[in-house]
Amino acid sequence: MTIYNPHNLTEEEFLQQYDPNAFDRLSLSIDTVIFSINVDPQTINYRKLDDQKLAILLVKRSDHPFLGRWALPGGFVGMQETLDEAARRILQNKTGLDDLYMEQLYTYGAPNRDPRMRIISCSYLSLIDSSKYQLHVSELVEDSAWFEVELIEEKGCLRISNGETTFLVKIEQKSVRKGKQIITSWQVAAESKLAFDHDAIILDGLLRLRGKIQSTDIVFNLMPELFSITQLQQIYEIILGQKLLAPAFRRKIAHTIVETGQYSQDKGHRPSQLFTYQQR
Amino acid sequence: MTIYNPHNLTEEEFLQQYDPNAFDRLSLSIDTVIFSINVDPQTINYRKLDDQKLAILLVKRSDHPFLGRWALPGGFVGMQETLDEAARRILQNKTGLDDLYMEQLYTYGAPNRDPRMRIISCSYLSLIDSSKYQLHVSELVEDSAWFEVELIEEKGCLRISNGETTFLVKIEQKSVRKGKQIITSWQVAAESKLAFDHDAIILDGLLRLRGKIQSTDIVFNLMPELFSITQLQQIYEIILGQKLLAPAFRRKIAHTIVETGQYSQDKGHRPSQLFTYQQR
DNA sequence: TTAATAGTGTCTATGAGACATTATTCT
DNA sequence: AGAATAATGTCTCATAGACACTATTAA
């Protein structure tokens, strides 16, 4: 059965005369917030536990706009790719790894977020096991580096630092009316020295991560194969931005991990048993 | 200080020679899942409680592609609008209301999801108080209608019906490896008679709503000013797809509502006290 | 022994699940 | 009285918070 539209065209005829340029067109990029856990080699002390930090991968822009500024790894979506495929390709390029945890985060589309033209950014959140990336990232020519990220609520500040360069992104709790409710959330309050609106994307990524580690198992994508419970607890504490009580923490995660019988070594204190993740 | 890129151009020079058509371009549309609560006027019985249903607003397509099929209300994003502004404009057009609850849902970008060209759909979730829309929607010329939505897990089916037309969207629980985890979620399993991939968007919207009513107050955007606790409980039950126990439910929501002293009337049973939402 | 961390025990308070009971209205 | 729903009481069980305590290693 052939269907005609109000201009008496069949679908085939319609598609033939359709002019893709009749409507405004724009570009679509993917930007990826890649989280990992870093240990500063300078602070390693065999008497103490490693000082773990949440880290993100940034790349230095080598062309206009924002030349020389740090940005999230990203790229344009190819015409034959799905969004997930584009995100996976970009991750593979930057980290050399292929089966990372990855989820779509949010889509940013302010008209002037890019000075070249209207570019929409579909952002992705990715998590990478700290024991794996070192091999790959350093091989890449591109100027990329891991930056520690910390949300300091008291100071209204998102601190992003790699030792050499530090960004202090001013943030504030904004209340927005949404229908009958007033919803309060952290927002970037002032322009920072990062490229584009990437400071806002990083903040949203961190908040998504914070929300999801409470209700899912995604932390284990940040962990090496073997880890101690205290190590895991510290990562929760970094991401949540608050201290947790050990017994309660143990009870909560007990069902997601299994004993290995192996123990940590070469530390100036009681060794801890190493566990591994096991999905329920 | 002027910065030069590898081709020795300043940012101003770079932007002047930048050809927006050098990269693939595409279009961006917004599609909105507008939820509300419907009561079928035919089943009203003064001895019984209203039979409430979760409903979404669909519009019948008046042109190719998918001419004559039902689709989510949507439209293209204007060049000077943010995504939120475009979503708000579309909502205002379809419902006549301006301050609805609205949040970005997910962005869909499969290369062939639209036969015209590459069109990315950024979807929004919106909630509308059932006592308000009736005034407006019927005034609109466009062929739009409220469809009941129900996720029937046992049958692996998403039922979307307005009495005349019923869509039975086949769904299945798919397990996907994401990094170290296997994540299982409902996915559309077979093509349905809805336009584009809108069946998948509706499913994702319903699942988002299901997740969010457990941890936030968004249900109240679906409620009229005054409601009984049982009425509220039934809406939770519809959205969650399971029965709840009344005493536990009361305890859970007690802190979000306040007594009004008013009571329901003209019913063939004990009247219920009417409550109203109060944000903590 | 001491520093540092690992790991356990247990009391209490809170909240969820389950079921039973009482209350109120209209026909 | 009987149908229908509203609203409360209460027992149990599971979990979360808080704190104290014991264990183990290397220097």
The DSSP code for A227 is B
Q: Which helix (H) or strand (E) holds A233?
A: helix A229-240
Rounded Cα distance, B24 and B26, in Å: 7
- What is the tens place of the pLDDT at every residue in A171-219? 999 999 999 999 999 999 999 999 999 999 999 999 999 999 999 999 9
Strands (E), A61-100: 70-71, 74-76
Q: Which residue has the higher pLDDT, A75 or A268?
A: A75
High-pLDDT (> 70) share of chain A, %: 94
Q: Which residue has the higher pLDDT, B270 or B19?
A: B270
- Which residue in chain A is spatially nearest to B106 when comparing CA positions? A106
Confidence of residue B178 (pLDDT cuts 50, 70, 90): very high
Tokens of B194: 């809805």
Rounded Cα distance, B223 and B267, in Å: 20
Confidence of residue B139 (pLDDT cuts 50, 70, 90): low
Q: Does A178 touch chain B (CB under 8 A)?
A: yes
B181, pLDDT greater than 90: yes
In the predicted model, what is the mean pLDDT of residues B234-256?
A: 95
High-pLDDT (> 70) share of chain B, %: 94
A40, pLDDT greater than 60: yes
Q: Would you state the pLDDT for residue A134?
A: 60
Q: Would you state the pLDDT for residue B105?
A: 98
Least confident of A73-82, B125-134, B174-183: B125-134
Interface test with A, best of B25, B63, B213 (most A CBs within 10 A): B25
Q: Beta carbon of A259 within 7 Å of strand C? A: no
Q: Residue B121's beta-bridge partner residues?
A: B29, B108
Rounded to the nearest 5°, which phi and psi values hold at B151? -95, 110
Minimal CA separation from A36 to chain B, in Å: 13
Q: Would you state the pLDDT for residue B141?
A: 52
Q: Beta carbon of B246 within 7 Å of strand D? A: yes
In the predicted model, what is the mean pLDDT of residues B186-208?
A: 97
Burial class (CB within 10 angstroms; exposed 0-12, middle 13-18, buried 19+) of B268: exposed
Q: Which nucleotides of D are covered by protein (CB under 7 A)?
A: 3-10, 15-20, 23-27
- What is the tens place of the pLDDT at every residue in A46-66? 888 999 999 999 999 988 899
Average pLDDT, chain A: 91
Q: Would you state the pLDDT for residue B153?
A: 95
H runs (alpha helix) in B131-180: 134-137
Q: Would you state the pLDDT for residue B151?
A: 97
Measured CA B239 to C1' C19 distance, in angstroms: 25
Report pTM: 0.94
Triad A266, A272, A278: Cα angle to 5°: 125
- What is the tens place of the pLDDT at every residue in A25-35? 789 999 999 99
Confidence of residue B13 (pLDDT cuts 50, 70, 90): confident
Q: HSE (CB half, 13 Å, CA atoms) of A91?
A: 27
Q: Beta carbon of A246 within 7 Å of strand D? A: yes
Confidence of residue B130 (pLDDT cuts 50, 70, 90): confident
- What is the tens place of the pLDDT at every residue in B69-123? 999 999 999 999 999 999 999 999 888 888 899 999 999 999 999 998 999 999 9
B243, pLDDT greater than 50: yes
Burial class (CB within 10 angstroms; exposed 0-12, middle 13-18, buried 19+) of B130: buried
- What is the tens place of the pLDDT at every residue in A79-137? 999 999 999 999 998 888 888 999 999 999 999 999 989 999 999 999 999 888 764 55
Q: Would you state the pLDDT for residue B25?
A: 75
A contact residues 206-225, partner B, Cβ 8 Å cutoff: 217-218, 220-221
Average pLDDT, chain B: 91
- Give the closest residue to D20 (Cα–C1′): A247
- Give the closest residue to D24 (Cα–C1′): A270
Measured CA B49 to C1' D3 distance, in angstroms: 13
Task: Please judge whether B179 and A80 are an interchain contact, meaning their C-beta atoms are less than 8 angstroms apart.
Answer: no
What residue has token string 């927005």?
A: A176
High-pLDDT (> 90) share of chain B, %: 74
β A101-108/A273-277 pair status: unpaired
N-term to C-term CA, chain B = 51
- What is the tens place of the pLDDT at every residue in A206-264? 999 999 999 999 999 999 999 999 999 999 999 999 999 999 999 999 999 999 999 99
Q: Beta carbon of A246 within 7 Å of strand C? A: yes
- Which residue in chain B is spatially nearest to A3 when comparing CA positions? B67
Residues of chain B positioned with their CB less than 8 A from the CB of A78:
24
What residue has token string 């591994």?
A: A276
In the predicted model, what is the mean pLDDT of residues A149-155?
A: 96
Q: Beta carbon of B1 within 7 Å of strand C? A: no
Rounded Cα distance, B215 and B38, in Å: 24
Q: Closest nucleotide (CA of B230 to C1')?
A: D6
Least confident of B33-37, B64-68, B234-238: B64-68
Q: Closest nucleotide (CA of B270 to C1')?
A: C25
